[in-house]
Amino acid sequence: IATDNRSQDGTTEILERYERAGVLHLLREEGDDMRQDEWVTRMARLAATDFGADWVVNADADEFWWPRGGSLKEVLATVPDRYGVIRGCWRHFLPRPDDGAFFAERMTVRLGMPAFPGDKTTIFHAHQKVAHRADPQITIEAGNHNALGAGLEPIRAWHPIEVLHFSFRTVAQVQRKGRGGWLRNAGYEPTLHQLLLDEASRTGRLDDFYTSFVVTDEALERGIRDGKLAVDPRLRDALRELRAEDGSFHLPGPESTLAFPRPDVREDGLYAGEASVLIEIDGVVRAEQRVDAFERRLASLERGPLSRVRHRLARR
């Protein structure tokens, strides 16, 4: 299921090809206020009510969900029945000099250790994306970072899926992204990268904005040496395998089966270090939720009958 929001870059035509083949349910939105959480929630609920989904993966167009060993279906089949949400770890890929080649051919450089959320020195932060058991009453929060539903308990401290993220791909794509509708949605709180992108768009500095993220050969060599960057050609190789002779990609079927090899011990260790930031964030969020719940309970008690009795006794 996909929602196309006023695409002008050929996306609509690609989606319509999948729709004609009967493998995609396509929704169209003509609004310019980017109501992402509303649209994604609608798709997730449709998956449950109209399409008989067991699990729902909430993915943006610039994300590729990569299971860590085995197929996506095999990973989801291992989730115990008492859990309803699993989390994928965002892994950011950085642009290389734009030579006109397909983005996946160029963008094989991955950021080694994203920053803790809230760090204002970078826009590349550690974050999670969620997949969940199908639920007709599910609510997906903006950015697809959380799913809320009755009885949908998340598995904590386990991130069996990598979400390969290709946010900035070409100068032309960043120029289109700069005209996004987030800031026209009064109920949406823009992220740091969206605010910076909007500022660059308004001041005519989008080219400079894009160039600031480009990894040169010298920066790549230095980043690999320092452990801050890694060469990761998995998406490039997967899309090469799926590409048809006419330049398009094979539709779902026997010709579009991919293998997902198990990572080696070294990669497992590096991934665990990266995902540890998410575990720490989750602990902070849970502590904040407990404090909020305690404060609500305390406020309720202060407004309750025992409080009124205490005040009457005090006046006597």
pLDDT at 10 over 60: yes
The mean-pLDDT minimum among 23-32, 110-119, 137-146, 164-173 falls in: 110-119
Rounded distance, CA 287 to CA 293, Å?
10
- CB 145, CB 129: distance < 8 Å: yes
What confidence score (pLDDT) does residue 298 get?
Answer: 72
pTM, entire model = 0.85
Which region holds residue 8: left if phi is over 0, alpha if psi is between -120 and 50, else beta? alpha
What confidence score (pLDDT) does residue 40 get?
Answer: 96
SS3 279: helix
Provide the pairing of β-strand 26-29 with 2-5: parallel
AA letter at 110? R
pLDDT > 70 in the chain, percent? 88
What is the pLDDT confidence band of residue 137, given thresholds at 50, 70 and 90? Answer: very high
- CB 138, CB 152: distance < 8 Å: yes
CA angle 112, 118, 119 (to 5 degrees): 55
Q: Which residue has the higher pLDDT, 187 or 15?
A: 15
Residue with tokens 């035509």: 13
Residue with tokens 């030579």: 99
Q: What is the mean pLDDT of residues 256-274?
A: 89
Residue 76 is encoded by which pair of tokens?
């989801």
- CB 129, CB 88: distance < 8 Å: yes
Q: What is the mean pLDDT of residues 134-159?
A: 93
AA letter at 138? I
What is the SS3 string spanning 176-197? Answer: HHCCCCHHHCCCCCCCHHHHHH
Residue with tokens 């167009």: 61
- CB 150, CB 222: distance < 8 Å: no
What confidence score (pLDDT) does residue 243 get?
Answer: 93
Q: Which of 26-35, 173-182, 199-208, 231-240 shows the highest mean pLDDT?
A: 231-240
Rounded distance, CA 53 to CA 56, Å?
7
- CB 137, CB 246: distance < 8 Å: no
Phi, psi (deg, nearest 5) at residue 272: -60, -40
Strand partners, 163: 65, 90
Residue with tokens 């308990």: 153
C-alpha closest to that of 148 among 62, 58, 73? 58
C-alpha closest to that of 30 among 7, 61, 48? 7
Write the pLDDT tens digit of every residue in 194-253: 888 888 888 989 899 999 999 999 999 999 999 999 999 999 999 999 999 998 899 888
Write the pLDDT tens digit of every residue in 45-94: 999 999 999 999 999 999 999 999 889 999 999 999 999 999 999 999 99
